[in-house]
């Protein structure tokens, strides 16, 4: 899984050398930022149900047609699945914050995403709206420290870009 350490180790391995001082410097750099990332991960994990619900409500508010007969949010089962999907992205963001790279999102969220949504005939705009709302709703220092918020927003933007 892609993270700073695994990238460094792969590079050293393909060159067949021991970890050099520049490798250790890269790892050190990622460890320095790790506290902010873990803070964001912790705050997100604590509030993930509420955060997902707010994002979900915001996207349905912006796209009320989704409640119409036959649309993606029309039945109880669909509503539950929409909320679950948003929570799923937030959980992957939580993982990415822990790893310090986009590996979990890439491998479990984004790979194949386009094909799945196309096959299920789902619009991606509501997901973007849910993510955008979550990104703009979070604020420092109420939710987390400023540095943690930067890391969190960066990953939300990464998801938005993958969906748009």
Q: Give the residue ranges of DSSP H helices in 16-124.
A: 21-62, 76-99, 103-105, 113-119
Question: Rounded to 5 degrees, what are φ and ψ at 102?
Answer: -95, 10
Q: What is the Cα–Cα distance from 56 to 131, expressed in whole angstroms?
A: 9
Q: Which of 6, 22, 68, 164 binds another protein (CB under 8 A)?
A: 6
**Under 8 Å CB-to-CB from 13, ≥6 apart: which residues?**
none
Under rule CB under 8 A, residue 22 binds another protein: no
Under rule CB under 8 A, residue 155 binds another protein: no
Q: Which residues inside 26-65 make contact with another protein, applying CB under 8 A?
A: 27-28, 31, 34-35, 38, 41-42, 44-46, 48
Half-sphere exposure of 132 (CA within 13 A, CB side): 14
Nearest approach in angstroms of CB 122 to another protein is 20
What tokens were used for 112? Answer: 């194949």
Nearest approach in angstroms of CB 57 to another protein is 20
What tokens were used for 141? Answer: 């220092």
Q: Which residues inside 60-119 make contact with another protein, applying CB under 8 A?
A: 91, 94-95, 98-100, 103-104, 108
Q: What is the Cα–Cα distance from 58 to 90, expressed in whole angstroms?
A: 15
Determine the interface stretch with another protein among 2-10, 61-69, 117-125, 139-147 (rule: CB under 8 A): 2-10
Instruction: Name the helix (H) or strand (E) containing 109.
Output: none
The site for another protein (CB under 8 A) is made up of: 1, 3, 5-6, 8-10, 12-13, 16-21, 23-24, 27-28, 31, 34-35, 38, 41-42, 44-46, 48, 91, 94-95, 98-100, 103-104, 108
């Amino acid at each position: 899984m892609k993270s700073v350490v695994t990238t460094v180790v792969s590079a050293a391995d393909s060159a067949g050398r021991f970890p050099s001082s520049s490798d250790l410097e890269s790892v050190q750099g990622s460890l320095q930022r790790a506290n902010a990332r873990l803070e964001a991960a912790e705050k997100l994990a604590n509030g993930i149900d509420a955060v997902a619900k707010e994002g979900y409500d915001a996207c349905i508010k912006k796209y009320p047609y989704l409640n119409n007969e036959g649309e993606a949010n029309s039945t109880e089962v669909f509503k539950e699945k929409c909320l679950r999907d948003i929570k799923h992205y937030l959980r992957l963001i939580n993982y990415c914050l822990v790893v310090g790279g986009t590996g979990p999102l890439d491998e479990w969220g984004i790979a194949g995403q386009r094909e799945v949504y196309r096959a299920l005939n789902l619009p991606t705009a509501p997901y973007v709206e849910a993510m955008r709302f979550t990104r703009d709703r979070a604020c420092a220092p109420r939710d987390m420290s400023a540095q943690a918020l930067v890391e969190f927003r960066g990953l939300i933007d990464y998801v938005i870009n993958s969906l748009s």
